[in-house]
């Protein structure tokens, strides 16, 4: 096994990346290797989808499937080897159907791509694992060197993050054939094992730009379906009664669950990246959406163990439910999987609701603790004039975007310390699950404007970008000239693609942490620093001073 895609990857002097029997996340070598094989089949599928477009053949089913299946290989999404192999078989079947369709139009249609005809050699997982060795991401490292490998992985992992957002958008009926075309072209190209540094850097920027469009259509899907988020108070304490917890990014699953639990006496709580749902008018209208439970994904083995009802995982991040012995109470959806855990297909949550009714629920209500969420794109851009006025009257000095993914490394206390040490005349804009490090603290306000502004999920980085662009337009300056600094925590591949998006838009001087991606070499980090001013966190005091004086 070789996997180096997330921040918690194993880093020892002997090994850079998870390369033993099991990754830090709990992914086994078997599943990891089979995911490499799946990616290779998806690259072959994309090569044919790209070719088919030259015959004006666009198959929506394939366009939807390809990024969705790729999403299953994202950190903390799918640990079920059998389902991974199932996706690989489906990719091959779809590829063959597409090839046949091309041949029906042009009997001489052919494709010069190393993965164009890839077949699985066996039904046996052990044999497939042996086959997968040829597709390990580091297979030709000795030949190409660490820098090229690092850039390839930057592209592959960035595209994986974008694929995840494509799937989130598709769930809400949003897709764009031009984006699928770009996705297939890049995915197919990465399957040719490119080794040109400039081409790979350009590809990374193209992925970032593509993802900006993906986040835009995802934003449209969410706001057209559930309305524009507005500031909303959310109780983060338990309410007496039967309960279901729903986690992940999929608002449609939450909507369906709320509809089906209405009138049943079962309360619904959001967890993790589902917290921003409370800001959407069409979701908060359900009175039994009573609050938010728990914190960042890395605490789930303790928090889920204590939750007295079923838990639904709609997307990342799931970790081993056996540890907290709640495996019989957790349900996976969509591309999420854990061996032995019940997987819900379709939109019928009856089985989950029945389980909630059989379980104890919370025996009593705790004293309310309210936090505010819901600063979506429209609310943020609507506040642009207020922000400009506060700055002009010297009431507001600086805005810090402090957000991103959470994780379990102790160094991540940096982000709590940073937020709490932001001076009182500055605002903190936050998003994604990294906010749980500080979102229950009281930061007060500046002339009625809360000092902590929660913009939403990780993909709502789109809203923060639109706010920055709006402010820059109104002030007649560039985004990099604003009194705005980005201090981003990263963990998985969605964070990587958001970073690529920001870089591709020309945003400079971003500070990231808690550690640099293990796949980026010192040379590559130096290139990113030179081109974009991207740098690692140091100490809170030093970074704060440097960012305020920039």
Q: Mind spelling out the 3-state secondary structure of 123-149?
A: CCHHHHHHHHHHHCCCCCHHHHHHHHH
Residues 6+ apart with CB under 8 A from 274: 246, 247, 248, 249, 251, 254, 292, 314
Cβ distance 378 to 466 under 8 Å?
Answer: no
Closest by CA to 20, choosing from 33, 35, 7, 36, is 33
Name 362's bridge partners.
241
Using CB under 6 A as the binding rule, whether residue 457 contacts ligand SF3 is answered as yes
We find the least distance from the C-beta atom of residue 19 to ligand SF4, in angstroms, to be 9
Please return the burial class of 414, using the count of CB atoms within 10 Å of its CB with bins 0-12, 13-18 and 19+: buried
Strand runs labelled E in 229-266: 232-235, 243-247
User: Annotated binding residue at 102?
Assistant: no
Stretch that binds ligand SF4, among 23-31, 142-150, 404-412, 441-449 (CB under 6 A): 23-31
Q: What x/- string results for residues 487 through 516 when contact with ligand SF3 is judged by CB under 6 A?
A: ----xx-xx---------------------
Using CB under 6 A as the binding rule, whether residue 154 contacts ligand SF4 is answered as no
Measured between alpha carbons, how far is 447 from 70 in angstroms, rounded to an integer? 46
User: Annotated binding residue at 317?
Assistant: yes
Q: Would you say 241 or 272 has its CB closer to ligand SF4? A: 272
- Return the residues of window 32-51 that contact ligand SF4 according to CB under 6 A: 32
Q: Would you say 9 or 213 has its CB closer to ligand SF4? A: 9
We find the least distance from the C-beta atom of residue 25 to ligand SF4, in angstroms, to be 3
Q: Would you say 371 or 496 has its CB closer to ligand SF3? A: 496
The beta-carbon contacts of 105-111 under 8 Å, at least 24 apart in sequence, are 105/55, 105/57, 106/55, 109/51, 109/55, 111/47, 111/48, 111/51
Task: Tell me how many degrees the CA angle 373-376-380 measures, rounded to the nearest 5.
Answer: 105
User: Annotated binding residue at 282?
Assistant: no
Q: Would you say 131 or 493 has its CB closer to ligand SF4? A: 493
Using CB under 6 A as the binding rule, whether residue 18 contacts ligand SF4 is answered as yes
Taking residue 238's Cβ as centre, other Cβ atoms within 10 Å add up to 23
432 binds, among ligand SF3, ligand SF4, none (CB under 5 to 8 A by kind): ligand SF3
Kindly state the number of chain residues that form the binding site for ligand SF4, as judged by CB under 6 A. Answer: 13
Binding-site sequence positions for [2Fe-2S] cluster: 3, 6, 18, 25
Rule CB under 6 A: which residues touch ligand SF4?
A: 3-6, 8-9, 18, 23-25, 27, 32, 75
Binding-site sequence positions for hybrid [4Fe-2O-2S] cluster: 249, 273, 317, 405, 433, 458, 492, 494
Rule CB under 6 A: which residues touch ligand SF3?
A: 76, 249, 272-273, 297, 316-317, 405-406, 432-433, 457-458, 491-492, 494-495
């Amino acid at each position: 096994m070789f996997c180096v895609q997330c921040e918690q990857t194993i880093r020892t002097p002997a090994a850079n990346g998870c390369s033993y029997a099991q990754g830090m996340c709990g992914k086994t070598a078997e599943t990891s290797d089979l995911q490499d094989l799946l990616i290779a089949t998806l690259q072959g599928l994309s090569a044919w989808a790209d070719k088919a477009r030259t015959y004006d053949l666009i198959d929506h089913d394939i366009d939807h499937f390809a990024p969705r299946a790729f999403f299953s290989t994202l950190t903390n999404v799918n640990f079920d080897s059998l389902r991974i192999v199932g996706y690989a078989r489906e990719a091959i079947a779809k590829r063959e159907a597409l090839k046949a369709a091309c041949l029906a139009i042009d009997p001489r249609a052919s494709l010069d791509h190393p993965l164009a005809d890839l077949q699985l050699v066996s039904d046996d997982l052990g044999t497939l694992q042996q086959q997968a060795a040829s597709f390990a991401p580091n297979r030709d490292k000795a030949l190409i060197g660490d820098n090229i490998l690092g850039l390839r992985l930057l592209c592959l992992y960035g595209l994986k993050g974008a694929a995840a957002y494509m799937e989130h958008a598709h769930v809400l009926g949003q897709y764009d054939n031009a984006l699928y075309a770009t996705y297939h072209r890049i995915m197919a190209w990465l399957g040719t094992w490119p080794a040109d540094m400039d081409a790979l850097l350009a590809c990374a920027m193209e992925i970032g730009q593509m993802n900006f469009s993906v986040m835009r259509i995802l934003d449209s899907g969410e706001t057209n379906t559930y309305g524009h988020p507005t500031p909303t108070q959310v109780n983060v304490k338990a309410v007496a009664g039967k309960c279901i917890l729903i986690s992940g990014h999929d608002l449609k699953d939450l909507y369906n669950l709320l509809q089906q639990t209405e009138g049943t006496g079962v309360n619904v709580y959001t967890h993790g990246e589902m917290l921003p749902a409370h800001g959407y008018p069409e979701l908060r209208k359900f009175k039994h959406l009573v609050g938010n439970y728990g914190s960042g994904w890395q605490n789930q083995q303790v928090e889920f163990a204590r939750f007295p009802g079923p838990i639904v995982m709609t997307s990342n991040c799931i970790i081993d439910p056996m540890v907290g012995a709640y495996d019989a109470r957790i349900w996976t959806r969509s591309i999420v999987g854990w061996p032995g855990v019940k997987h819900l297909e379709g939109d019928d949550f009856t089985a989950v609701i029945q389980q909630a009714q059989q379980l104890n629920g919370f025996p009593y209500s705790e004293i309310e603790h309210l936090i505010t969420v819901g600063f979506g794109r429209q609310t943020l851009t609507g506040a642009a004039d207020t922000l400009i006025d506060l700055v002009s009257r010297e009431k507001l000095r600086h805005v810090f975007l402090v957000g991103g993914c959470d994780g379990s490394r102790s160094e991540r206390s940096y982000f709590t310390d940073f937020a709490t040490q932001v001076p009182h005349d500055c605002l903190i804009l936050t998003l994604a699950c990294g906010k749980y490090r500080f979102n229950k603290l009281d930061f007060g306000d500046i002339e009625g404007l809360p000092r902590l502004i929660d913009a939403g999920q990780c993909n709502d980085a789109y809203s923060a970008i639109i706010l920055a662009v709006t402010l820059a337009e109104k002030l007649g300056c560039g985004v990099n000239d604003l009194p705005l600094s980005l201090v981003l925590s990263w963990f998985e591949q969605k964070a990587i693609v958001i970073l690529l998006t920001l870089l591709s838009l020309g945003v400079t001087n971003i500070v990231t942490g808690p550690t640099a991606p293990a796949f980026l070499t010192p040379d590559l980090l130096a290139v990113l620093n030179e081109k974009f001013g991207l740098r690692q966190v140091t100490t809170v005091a030093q970074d704060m001073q440097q960012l305020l004086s920039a």
